Amino acid sequence: MSRPHSICLLNDSFPPVIDGVANAVLNYAREIENAGGHAVVATPEVPGADDSAFPFPVVRYPSVDTREMFGYVAGVPFSPELAGRLLKERPEILHSHCPVASTFLARELRETLDIPLVFTYHTKFDIDIANAVRLKFLQREMIDALVWNVSAADEIWVVSRGAGENLRSLGYQGDYIVMDNGVDVPRARASDEAVASAVAGYDLPAGVPLYLFVGRLMWYKGLRIILDALKRLEEDGRDFRAVFIGGGGDEDEVKAYAEELGLTSRVFFTGPIRDRDAIRAWYTRADLFLFPSTFDTNGLVVREAAASSLASVLIAGSCAAEGVTDGVNGFLIEENAASLAAKLAEIAAEPETARTVGEHAARDLYLSWHDAVARANDRYGTVIDRYLTVGLRREHVRGERFFARQGALMEALAEAEERRREVHEKIEVFEQTARKRVADFHADVNQRRNDYVSVWNTRLDEANRRINERFDSVVETIDDRADRIDEDFSRRLERDREAVNESLARVRKLLKL
């Protein structure tokens, strides 16, 4: 077994963006760290991403938000800051999992860091390109660019032999190594309690066959074959239930087609389920896993089903069917609804066969991420040794001069970025000090103003008190004087009245005489 290594994993998707390849990169990083190595993930920025919970560093580089158009962000593979960060992480090897932006960036980093580059081909990108671009000549140009980019890697890995042959069909002419992906569920069936909790609320009668599909709801996954086969079973009077777990771009159309076929009382759509234990419970409850896809290059869901001793029905010759022998550790059909319906009717007649085949699938097909990454780690050591051995260093394909210059430029820009960051940090310290001094000055001024206002308020209160006292005293004096004047006037008036009365009396007396 090779010693643990320091690996830089690159992919265009990573949580919170979830797909099969993102899940593979996540498990690679976890297992590398668990084995005593070091993993760092380089991936485009995604709005709202929080990487703080991961036990390994996640370095994000600039991106353009194209999720409404393609479902993913588009990474911009020119990032001096990323090169600077990775120089500090000191990876020994680059491992790209996407043939576009991530591999383009990895080629630049190879020249900057002077370490080898491994690329893993996970999915049939010609189908993705065909779905995204309608013009044939543009499809060919994009495929040629993809193959040119991939061919620059120091070693090519594929997740299945079928994936390798698909890459060859696109024009790749080099060698490849099959490196299977693992699954992140244990090899064991879920408990009865977990199953009851997961399936609660669904009409799943005991003794009625339950068929399961897990994956993106896209027509190219063989979903029309499944629904048409189920319709044939219904027309033959056979009872069954079918559950589809997942979401996807064709979800509404798939549901509408199931309704058009009149299957809504037997076919249920759960939507995406993130809880891995809940998904394992569904694998445990099901009688067969249906996966008639020729698109998938690996079919991890087949291994997940095998972990719960659930047998799969697959298209003969498909990538997902690699390692499967019909009637031994799986069931194989032709790529049509009639073949699937016939196989389901055959298995329903002998349900014990499905259980036995499921047990063999657990024995033959199950592969944990621990074992898958341990094998990859051994191969990392081989690639690193070969890259460093004089005379065996790979001669890069034509066009690498550009990446060498780009790498040198990125290294220089990374150093400049480091200097800029140091200057920025000093400016921040200066700004913080200046802000504190200004804040202290403002606080002192405010305190003095408050003290000044308080003193003057006290003085004004005292002046008002004295004025009020003087005013009250004056009013009291005026009132006293007014009372005396009133009393004096009253006495005088009384005397004048008495004098007048006396004069009137004398006048009357004289008149009588």
Which residue type sits at 435?
A: R
Non-local (6+) Cβ contacts of 381 within 8 A are 2, 3, 5
Instruction: Determine the pLDDT at residue 305.
Output: 96
Q: Which structure tokens are listed for 380? A: 């990392």
What the block records as the tokens of 209 is 């066959």
Q: Is 0.75 surpassed by the pTM of this model?
A: no
Predicted confidence at residue 405, as pLDDT, reads 47
Q: What is the pLDDT of residue 420?
A: 58
Return the bridge partners of 121, or none. 158
Cα-based distances in Å from 476 to 466, 470, 472, 481, 490: 15, 10, 6, 9, 21
Give the CA diameter of the chain. 173
pLDDT at 124: 76
- Say what the pLDDT of residue 353 is: 95
Q: Which of 115, 3, 160, 147 is nearest to 383 (CA)?
A: 115
Residues of CATH 3.40.50.2000 domain(s) within the chain? 6-182+371-398, 192-366
Q: Under 8 Å CB-to-CB from 158, ≥6 apart: which residues?
A: 120, 121, 164, 167, 176, 177, 178, 179, 297
d(CA 26, CA 373): 11
Sign of CA dihedral 153, 159, 164, 166: negative
- C-alpha distances (whole Å) from 361 to each of 70, 316, 318, 322, 325 are 36, 16, 17, 12, 10
Which superfamily, per CATH, for 6-182+371-398? Glycogen Phosphorylase B; (3.40.50.2000)
What CATH number is given for 192-366 in this structure? 3.40.50.2000
Distance CA 83, CA 209 (A): 55
pLDDT of residue 461: 85
Residue 355 sits at φ, ψ, to 5 deg, of -70, -40
Half-sphere exposure of 454 (CA within 13 A, CB side): 6
pLDDT along the chain (513 residues), means of 10: 87 84 93 95 89 94 69 68 81 93 88 91 74 71 86 93 90 93 92 96 95 93 97 96 93 97 96 91 97 87 95 95 95 97 95 95 94 95 87 46 50 54 72 81 83 84 85 83 83 84 83 74
Orientation angle between helical segments 192-199 and 276-285, nearest 10 degrees = 100
Q: What pLDDT, on a 0 to 100 scale, did the predictor assign at position 392?
A: 42
